[in-house]
Structure 1
Amino acid sequence: MDWDDLRVFLAVARAESLSGAGRVLKCDAATVGRRIARLEEGLGAKFFLKSPHGYALTDAGARLLPHAEAAEAATAAAEEALSGEAGQLTGQLRIGAPDGCANYLLPQVCAAICDAHPGLEIQLIALPRLFNLSKREADMAIAVSRPTAGRLTVQKLADYQLHLAADRDYLAAHPPITSRADLRGHRMIGYIPDMIFDKELDYLAETGAEAVGLASNSVSVQMQMVRAGAGLGIVHDFAIPFCPGVSRVLPDEIGLRRTFWLLRHADDRRSERLGRLAEALGQGLRAEIARLEAAAAVQ
Structure 2
Amino acid sequence: MLDWNDLRYFLAVARSGSTLAASTQLRASQSTVSRRITALEAQLGVQLFVRRPSGYELTPRGQSVLPAAESVEAAILNFSDGVAAESRRLAGTVRISTVESAVNAWVIPAIGLLRGQHPEIRVEILTSEHYVDLARGEADVAVRFGPRPTQESLVVRHLLDMLESFYATHEMVERLGMPASVEDLARYPLVASTDDTNITNRWIAQHLPDAEIAHRSSSMSSISAAVRSGLGAAILPCMMADGMPGLVRLLPPIEELTTPGWMVTTDTARRQPHIRAVIDLVVEQIQQTLARRPPHLAVAQAA
> After TM superposition, is the score higher than 0.5?
yes
Task: Give the aligned partner of residue 170 of structure 1.
Answer: 172
Matched, 1:209 2:211: no
CA contact under 8 A between 2:90 and 2:273: conserved in structure 1? no
Question: For 1:203 and 1:85, how far apart are their aligned partners in 2?
Answer: 52
Matched, 1:190 2:192: yes
Matches within 5 A, 1:65-144: 85-144=86-145
Question: For 1:231 and 1:207, how far apart are their aligned partners in 2?
Answer: 19
The offset of 1:202, in angstroms, is 6.2
Give 4+ residue runs of structure 1 displaced > 6 Å after superposition: 252-255
Matches within 5 A, 1:22-61: none
CA RMSD of aligned residues (A): 3.4
Question: For 1:114 and 1:91, how far apart are their aligned partners in 2?
Answer: 12
Task: Give the aligned partner of residue 230 of structure 2.
Answer: 229
CA separation of 1:90 and 1:182: change in aligned 2, threshold 3 A: same
CA separation of 1:280 and 1:94: change in aligned 2, threshold 3 A: same
CA contact under 8 A between 1:167 and 1:227: conserved in structure 2? yes
CA separation of 1:110 and 1:140: change in aligned 2, threshold 3 A: same
User: What is the identity percentage for the equivalent residue pairs of Structure 1 and Structure 2?
Assistant: 21
CA separation of 1:281 and 1:83: change in aligned 2, threshold 3 A: farther
Question: For 2:253 and 2:217, how far apart are their aligned partners in 1?
Answer: 26
1:226-271 deviation per Cα after TM superposition (whole angstroms, max 9, x unaligned): 1111221111223235532111112377785433212223543544
Question: For 1:86 and 1:290, how far apart are their aligned partners in 2?
Answer: 32
The offset of 1:167, in angstroms, is 0.6
| Alignment-mate amino acid for residue 165 of structure 1 | Y
Question: For 1:157 and 1:253, how far apart are their aligned partners in 2?
Answer: 19
What SS does the corresponding residue of 1:105 show, helix, strand or coil? helix
| Alignment-mate amino acid for residue 286 of structure 2 | L
Question: For 2:139 and 2:256, how far apart are their aligned partners in 1?
Answer: 32
In structure 1, runs of 5+ residues without a counterpart are: 1-80
The offset of 1:184, in angstroms, is 2.0
Question: For 2:255 and 2:157, how far apart are their aligned partners in 1?
Answer: 28
Structure whose alpha-carbon radius of gyration is higher? 2
Residue correspondences, number: 213
1:69-127 deviation per Cα after TM superposition (whole angstroms, max 9, x unaligned): xxxxxxxxxxxx95855545322111111111112332112211232222222122222
CA separation of 1:195 and 1:253: change in aligned 2, threshold 3 A: closer
TM-score by length of structure 1 reads 0.60
Task: Give the aligned partner of residue 67 of structure 1.
Answer: none
| Alignment-mate amino acid for residue 155 of structure 2 | T
Task: Give the aligned partner of residue 155 of structure 2.
Answer: 153
Question: For 2:202 and 2:111, how far apart are their aligned partners in 1?
Answer: 28
CA separation of 1:186 and 1:119: change in aligned 2, threshold 3 A: same
| Alignment-mate amino acid for residue 248 of structure 1 | R
TM-score by length of structure 2 reads 0.59
Task: Give the aligned partner of residue 251 of structure 1.
Answer: 252
CA contact under 8 A between 2:188 and 2:212: conserved in structure 1? no
Question: For 1:253 and 1:97, how far apart are their aligned partners in 2?
Answer: 22
